[in-house]
Structure 1
Amino acid sequence: MIFETVLLLLLLTLSLARPPPIIDDASPPSPPRATVYSGCKVNNTVALTFDDGPYIHMNDISDMLTKASAKGTFFVNGHNYDCIYDKKVAARVQYAYKQGHQIAAHTWSHPDLTELNMTEITDEFTKINDALLKVLGIKTPFMRPPYGSYNNLARQVAYQMNQSLVVWDFDSGDSVGATLQESEGNYTMAIASKPANILALNHETVKTTAGSLVPFAINALQGAGYQLVTVAECLELDPYSYKEDQVGTWDKTWFCPEDEDED
């Protein structure tokens, strides 16, 4: 009886001394994701941005901004309305760039990134980034997702490419059916609310935007005391992560593969 009691106490002691099992219930760390900017940081600034080019109105918009001592930002595609490698199209991008306007990326073909897998998103980013390096000799740290649509996968790819995503906090409505008067009204209402700053979405592919809305917006915003600057300036960031001394010169590698597929 004494022996059994001693044995029981010994077993109990060993059981209590045994360390608890280690259970690793921690979730794996999330992949790093790019920063998303949806507005400016610097007070009293407005960043006028123009999507979907390079299009036939790019030079006119550039001239309007320059004449008003203003700067704009063009988020360009590789092959949307035009092929960026066409000589006349590449010349538009170079023209705006040489005037001091910021050129940034808007994917190669303007897809909804949330409908693509990682390989497809990477291809969209890589092709437009390669094009800007060839045409302008620059690497842009800014990518605008088409339709302002993105997910964590798109942010992961952007991070891997050392880019941030840029959306907006004001939409002129020019690409979604707004009339010129409605777009002007949108600017008027935005200015009346007296925001500290504005990151404005416009589209250089809309004829009335290039012909009438841009000069209206410039006059209204400057009249309200805002300084019209690039996205990089309104965020206090560098516009380019790499910049060569001169723009590129056309050669046989400048072509859109999709054009060959159509032949």
Structure 2
Amino acid sequence: FTSTLLDKLKADNFKATFFINGNNGGCIYDNAEVVKRAFNEGHQIASHTWSHQDLATLNKDQIKYQMKKLEEALVKILGVKPIYMRPPFGSGVDKPLVMSTLGELGYKVVTWDTDTNDWQGRTTSQCLNEYRNASPPPNSHIVLNHDTIKNTATNMAPQAFKIMKSRGFKINTVGECLGVTDPAKWYIKVGAPQTRDNTWVCKDSDITGP
């Protein structure tokens, strides 16, 4: 469904931030072309960990695994290592171990202030009410949606764009909202993508690591 959302974003000339998993209900390598398209069209690619584990329940080595395993995939596919990450469930932001480990790895943690809860099967109208009820400009909002949900990508999000635009909001990436206008500075590392080989796979055994 992400390709449909990218079509809508392109038509409206909006940029978004995609927080990406590696092995969570699908494999990033199987969707490499979609990830490349989003990146090449100017959207921000950020980390949502390798396999969507609750970081607050992990030890330091496990947290590092979740971050580095996804880094490995993004470097292969795009040649970049992101600076920004969103913790699964928003969990761990109050845990010193989580925050210090992410900091050591060079990450800036992003959460949200407006949640459509689209993953709970809410109706389009219920989701759109979050946009209608968000405090108006000059207030800014980080809104959480899931492009892996068909209704969000194909129906709700395009309507949300119209609502926010009509209310005077500018739809931007997280980086731009933070004043970082140079896309290269959304990443710790920027290089050339790699050629697909037999390491571009996900396994059940790599979900939680060694």
Q: Which of the residues 97, 108, 117 maps onto 1:153?
A: 97
Structure 1 distance, partners of 2:27, 2:111, is 23
Structure 2 distance, partners of 1:119, 1:260, is 14
Q: Tell whether the 8 Å contact from 2:50 to 2:69 is kept in structure 1 after alignment.
A: yes
**1:5 equivalent in structure 2:** none
Structure 1 distance, partners of 2:74, 2:133, is 36
Q: CA deviation at 1:194?
A: 4.4
Moved over 3 A (4+): none
Q: Does 1:170 align with 2:117?
A: no
Q: CA deviation at 1:259?
A: 6.8
**1:229 equivalent in structure 2:** 172
Q: Tell whether the 8 Å contact from 1:171 to 1:200 is kept in structure 2 after alignment.
A: yes
Q: Does 1:75 align with 2:75?
A: no
Cα shift readout 1:153-185 (whole Å, capped 9, x = no counterpart) = 111111111011111111012013322110011
Q: Does 1:140 align with 2:87?
A: no
Structure 2 distance, partners of 1:260, 1:147, is 21
Q: CA deviation at 1:249?
A: 2.3
Q: Tell whether the 8 Å contact from 1:94 to 1:247 is kept in structure 2 after alignment.
A: no
User: Partner amino acid for 2:18?
Assistant: F
User: Partner amino acid for 1:133?
Assistant: V
Structure 2 distance, partners of 1:222, 1:184, is 13
In structure 2, do the counterparts of structure 1 residues 175 and 195 end up closer, same or farther at CA, with 3 Å as the change threshold?
A: farther
Q: Tell whether the 8 Å contact from 2:137 to 2:169 is kept in structure 1 after alignment.
A: no
2:106 aligns to what SS in structure 1?
A: coil
Report matched runs for 1:188-203 at 5 Å.
188-190=132-134, 193-194=136-137, 196-203=139-146
Structure 2 distance, partners of 1:112, 1:206, is 21
Q: CA deviation at 1:257?
A: 3.0
Cα shift readout 1:38-82 (whole Å, capped 9, x = no counterpart) = xxxxxxxxxxxxxxxxxxx11111111111011001000000021
Structure 2 distance, partners of 1:103, 1:251, is 22
Q: Tell whether the 8 Å contact from 2:14 to 2:171 is kept in structure 1 after alignment.
A: yes
RMSD: 1.7
Q: Which of the residues 155, 158, 168 maps onto 1:215?
A: 158
User: Partner amino acid for 1:125?
Assistant: M
2:52 aligns to what SS in structure 1?
A: coil
Cα shift readout 1:74-122 (whole Å, capped 9, x = no counterpart) = 0000000211122xx1111001111111110000000111111111111
Q: Which of the residues 195, 199, 202 maps onto 1:253?
A: 199
Q: Give the TM-score of the pair, scaled to structure 1.
A: 0.73
Q: What fraction of aligned residue pairs are identical, expressed as a percent?
A: 38
Structure 1 distance, partners of 2:27, 2:205, is 8
Q: Give the count of matched residue pairs.
A: 201
Q: Which of the residues 224, 235, 239 maps onto 2:186?
A: 239
1:227 aligns to what SS in structure 2?
A: coil
User: Partner amino acid for 1:241?
Assistant: I
Considering only CA atoms, is the larger Rg found in Structure 1 or Structure 2?
Answer: 1
User: Partner amino acid for 2:151?
Assistant: T
Q: CA deviation at 1:195?
A: 5.3
Q: Which of the residues 101, 119, 131 maps onto 1:187?
A: 131
Unaligned runs of 5+ residues in structure 1 are 1-56
**1:125 equivalent in structure 2:** 67
Structure 2 distance, partners of 1:241, 1:81, is 27
Q: Give the TM-score of the pair, scaled to structure 2.
A: 0.90
In structure 2, do the counterparts of structure 1 residues 226 and 117 end up closer, same or farther at CA, with 3 Å as the change threshold?
A: same
User: Partner amino acid for 2:20?
Assistant: V
Q: CA deviation at 1:227?
A: 1.2
